[in-house]
Chain A
Amino acid sequence: MGLVSLRRSAGCVLAGLLYLFAASGVIADTKPLKLNTTADHSKFKELQREFQSGPEVTKACLSCHTEAAGQVHRTKHWKWEFLNPASGQKLGKKEVLNNFCISIASNYSACTSCHVGYGWKDASFDFTSEENVDCLACHDTTGIYKKPPGLAGHPQLKDVENPPGSGKITKGIDIAKVAQKVGKSSRDNCGSCHFYGGGGDGVKHGDLDSSLAAPDKDLDVHMDATGLDFTCATCHKTSSHDVAGSRYTPTAMDKGGAHMRGKEDKSNPATCVSCHDTAPHKQDARLNTHTGKIACQTCHIPEFARGGVPTKMSWDWSKAGERDAEGKQIVRKDAKGHIIYESRKGAFELGENVKPEYFWFNGDVNYTLATDKVDKTDGVTRINWLGGSPDDGKSMIWPVKVFRGSQPYDPVNKTLVKPHTAGNDDTGYWKNLVWDKAIEVGMKDAGLPFSGKVDFVKTEMFWPITHMVAPKEKALACTECHSKSGRLAGITGIYIPGRDANSLVDTFGWGIALFSLVGSVGHGLMRIASRRKHEEKENG
């Protein structure tokens, strides 16, 4: 037996002994630990009690996390307000309108089920209240925490008969259990609102829906639940409760390169470049020449709404209001069971696996607000629009979901309007199907004038696509753009080989090639003919 094999067998014996040692309980005595946190909230006395309301839970949270509410108070998630520093426009959910459910004015109790607070039922909500911050919306890990529309952001804690008189009981939430199990925000937490924007699963964004709760690699290479398993916050790196990334001031072109630990970097951490840098293609460096003009998303998100959840592509409010023979509201569905008409909302078109439209985008997003003039004769009113051009040095070609619709406006004052939709009252459109009353209430709530006349105007909204990043094998093939009628057929200001050609040069070029050919053939024929003559002469 050589020295080496002796050593090896000694090693085996030692390993075996260690195993026996462990099995006999010496190592097993160590208590099991949650390795991703230093605190088990179920052990905190403050949370081992009954809670009568959400704010009571928040008070308990704040007894330790003393600065948390103050941090939340500074964020868009709390204020629903954003001052665009470039345009000076006052934006945020509180201010803007869209062509989905239109506006939150007068509809607070329904809309604020997605507010990180409790009790925002009208314009008088106290934004300085610390106990009204809802910690659980973002930190629930149980999945049972829900905030139904109509309760102004409160969860339902008691059993309720819903609808009243139906005998159907909706169980209340055990909020103490939720509080004892709080943890870091997951895709489910963010998704409970952001997957459902626009009033339902996948409706608004197209690249955010419930299929991203546990996606496979094909749907999203980063969030792949059995792979990299990114949470939203892996990219939307959150600091002091302020979540990075913005729809109002997106980063269209990131020249900053990858972020480095320890190096101060105030640029957006949610861009592709912030991890992948500006020359990410290692195998085929030629692809890096695209990164100066083309957003990563353009090639790497070939289609949106790929997870089996359709997204709304259009919404025609002017078709709303139909009733059946008994005067009841109507709901129509397509072959797959997805709603395509509702009396209270109008007609929809849905899309799955949708190819985006492409635009030059420099990060500027401007809005048509309810105070801005709108002219129906302009054709289509853009509720928001993306700045950008091929020459400004700040723009990249981006994939965009363009959401088209038709919605009520005031033909006398020439403004878009904010109707009162949700609410179990005499004026809410969803219950009563009467526009002028609904708009009067909504506009009054928003402090805006309304003439009493209602017409409909076509609108568009532009939603840059950035989620549902496909694996690299599924990125766009070259010919998707490098061809005559490819995806970028409508993009001006750049020369795309395979798409573009100078027609004069082509005509001239093929011309001289043909001229050479015809000249050669002609010359050759004349030679053949002259040879015959020559031979005839010699033979004759």
Chain B
Amino acid sequence: MVERVYIFKGFERFWHWSQAALIMFMMLTGFEIHGSYALFGFEKAVGYHSIAAWTLIGLWIFAIFWHLTTGEWRHYIPTMEKVLVVAQYYSSGIFRHEPHPFKPSQLNKHNPLQRLTYLGVLLFVSPLIWITGWLYLFYGNWTSWGLANLKLEWVATGHTIGAFLMLAFFVSHLYLVTTGHTVTAHIKAMITGWEEVESSDAANTQAGTEKSLSNQPWSPS
């Protein structure tokens, strides 16, 4: 049995894909600036990287507003419950064609591992990239900001670490997209908003779990 669930709303999909495009483009230009290869030429790469950065800042302003006003931010509240079950699924159950122990819904669209990963990106990788990137953009103002003792090397190294973490996330993310009910189930969900989820008997036995997950911590019940 396959059930269709509406998970990702219009703005969310727009946010995801435009952010994805910007981040890929910024990795492409960023690693050129870093000296890893030559593609656009340093001058153009810096220009494009900066424009993309400002665009992403604009996008984030809208995204933050959306998350706050709709309450969608709650999807990133971490939970340790069932983390091990989900981890176990990806490390063994998936090979035995067991159903996914987590069933996404509008109220609870991320499994506990996703919650932890996205929160990690939000709390660690993004701030690292944003703060160092912002400092990089305003290098000329450091003295007037009282940051004369700051060294570009520290900022650049921090920015590079953030970029590598983002790259690692990006690679894993691309792969995990294929681990849905079918290979294209997840990506279809992010395009159309509708996720196909398996609702076999095996999944039904997990229903209690799913319910308990969706009940907390802001369950409308």
A contact set with B: CB distance below 8 Å:
285-286, 288-289, 292, 477-479, 482-484, 494-495, 497-502, 505-506, 508-510, 512-513, 515-517, 519-521, 523-524, 526-527, 530-531, 534
B161 interfacial by beta-carbon distance below 8 Å:
yes
* Contact call A520/B160, Cβ cutoff below 8 A: no
Residues of B within 8 A of A512 (CB): 164-165, 168
Contact residue among A477, A508, A534 (Cβ-Cβ distance under 8 Å from B97): A534
* Contact call A527/B95, Cβ cutoff below 8 A: yes
B174 (CB) vs chain A CBs: closest residue: A520
How far, in whole Å, are A68 and B178 apart by their CA atoms in the complex? 89
How far, in whole Å, are A506 and B34 apart by their CA atoms in the complex? 10
* Contact call A500/B153, Cβ cutoff below 8 A: yes
Residues of B within 8 A of A495 (CB): 151-153, 156
Contact residue among B152, B164, B176 (Cβ-Cβ distance under 8 Å from A505): B164
* Contact call B164/A527, Cβ cutoff below 8 A: no
Q: Taking the nearest CB of chain A, how far is it from the CB of B135, in angstroms? A: 12
How far, in whole Å, are A477 and B45 apart by their CA atoms in the complex? 13
Residues of B within 8 A of A520 (CB): 171-172, 174-176
A484 (CB) vs chain B CBs: closest residue: B35
Q: Taking the nearest CB of chain A, how far is it from the CB of B144, in angstroms? A: 11
* Contact call A513/B167, Cβ cutoff below 8 A: yes
Interface residue count on the B side (C-beta < 8 Å): 37
* Contact call B157/A502, Cβ cutoff below 8 A: yes
Residues of B within 8 A of A484 (CB): 35
B42 interfacial by beta-carbon distance below 8 Å:
yes
Best-buried of A288, A479, A498, A519 by chain B (most CB within 10 Å): A498
Assuming A498-B35, A499-B35, is B97 touching A530 (CB within 8 A)? yes
A515 (CB) vs chain B CBs: closest residue: B168
* Contact call B35/A497, Cβ cutoff below 8 A: yes
B201 interfacial by beta-carbon distance below 8 Å:
no
* Contact call B140/A498, Cβ cutoff below 8 A: no
**CB 8 Å contact bits of B151-188 with A (1 = contact, 0 = none):** 11100110011011101110110111011000000000
How far, in whole Å, are A517 and B172 apart by their CA atoms in the complex? 7
B3 interfacial by beta-carbon distance below 8 Å:
no
Residues of B within 8 A of A289 (CB): 139-140
* Contact call B42/A479, Cβ cutoff below 8 A: yes
* Contact call A478/B43, Cβ cutoff below 8 A: yes
B window 171-216: CB within 8 A of A: 171-172, 174-176, 178-179
B147 interfacial by beta-carbon distance below 8 Å:
no
Residues of A within 8 A of B156 (CB): 495, 497, 500
Residues of A within 8 A of B169 (CB): 516
- 25 A-B pairs within 8 Å (CB atoms) are namely A285-B140, A286-B50, A477-B43, A478-B42, A482-B35, A482-B42, A483-B42, A497-B34, A498-B42, A500-B153, A502-B160, A505-B157, A505-B160, A506-B160, A509-B161, A509-B167, A513-B167, A513-B171, A515-B168, A516-B169, A516-B172, A516-B175, A517-B171, A530-B94, A531-B97
Residues of B within 8 A of A517 (CB): 171
* Contact call B171/A530, Cβ cutoff below 8 A: no
* Contact call A516/B157, Cβ cutoff below 8 A: no
Residues of A within 8 A of B43 (CB): 477-479
* Contact call A513/B178, Cβ cutoff below 8 A: no
How far, in whole Å, are A513 and B163 apart by their CA atoms in the complex? 10
How far, in whole Å, are A397 and B43 apart by their CA atoms in the complex? 20
Q: Taking the nearest CB of chain B, how far is it from the CB of A265, in angstroms? A: 22
* Contact call A526/B42, Cβ cutoff below 8 A: no
B140 (CB) vs chain A CBs: closest residue: A289
How far, in whole Å, are A530 and B33 apart by their CA atoms in the complex? 42
Assuming A502-B160, A530-B96, is B34 touching A513 (CB within 8 A)? no
Contact residue among B46, B171, B176 (Cβ-Cβ distance under 8 Å from A478): B46
* Contact call A526/B95, Cβ cutoff below 8 A: yes
B41 interfacial by beta-carbon distance below 8 Å:
yes
Residues of A within 8 A of B34 (CB): 497-498, 501
How far, in whole Å, are A69 and B117 apart by their CA atoms in the complex? 82
Residues of A within 8 A of B35 (CB): 482-484, 497-501
Residues of A within 8 A of B41 (CB): 478-479
* Contact call A516/B168, Cβ cutoff below 8 A: yes
Q: Taking the nearest CB of chain B, how far is it from the CB of A510, in angstroms? A: 7
How far, in whole Å, are A484 and B156 apart by their CA atoms in the complex? 16
* Contact call A509/B172, Cβ cutoff below 8 A: no
How far, in whole Å, are A285 and B172 apart by their CA atoms in the complex? 38
Q: Taking the nearest CB of chain B, how far is it from the CB of A501, in angstroms? A: 6
Residues of B within 8 A of A498 (CB): 33-35, 42
How far, in whole Å, are A521 and B35 apart by their CA atoms in the complex? 27
Residues of A within 8 A of B33 (CB): 482, 497-498
Best-buried of B33, B174, B175, B176 by chain A (most CB within 10 Å): B175
Q: Taking the nearest CB of chain B, how far is it from the CB of A444, in angstroms? A: 55
Q: Taking the nearest CB of chain A, how far is it from the CB of B37, in angstroms? A: 11
Q: Taking the nearest CB of chain A, how far is it from the CB of B87, in angstroms? A: 13
Q: Taking the nearest CB of chain B, how far is it from the CB of A248, in angstroms? A: 30
* Contact call B161/A519, Cβ cutoff below 8 A: no
B window 131-159: CB within 8 A of A: 139-140, 143, 151-153, 156-157
* Contact call A530/B95, Cβ cutoff below 8 A: yes
Residues of A within 8 A of B165 (CB): 509, 512
Assuming A502-B157, A515-B168, A516-B168, is B152 touching A494 (CB within 8 A)? yes
How far, in whole Å, are A513 and B139 apart by their CA atoms in the complex? 29
Q: Taking the nearest CB of chain A, how far is it from the CB of B114, in angstroms? A: 16
* Contact call A513/B168, Cβ cutoff below 8 A: yes
How far, in whole Å, are A497 and B152 apart by their CA atoms in the complex? 9
Residues of A within 8 A of B172 (CB): 516, 519-520
Q: Taking the nearest CB of chain B, how far is it from the CB of A485, in angstroms? A: 11
Known: A495-B152, A506-B160, A513-B168. 16 other contacts (CB 8 A): A286-B140, A479-B38, A482-B33, A482-B35, A494-B152, A497-B156, A500-B156, A501-B160, A502-B153, A502-B160, A509-B163, A513-B167, A520-B171, A527-B94, A527-B179, A530-B97
Residues of A within 8 A of B174 (CB): 520
How far, in whole Å, are A308 and B35 apart by their CA atoms in the complex? 36
Q: Taking the nearest CB of chain B, how far is it from the CB of A107, in angstroms? A: 50
Residues of B within 8 A of A516 (CB): 167-169, 171-172, 175
Q: Taking the nearest CB of chain A, how far is it from the CB of B201, in angstroms? A: 16
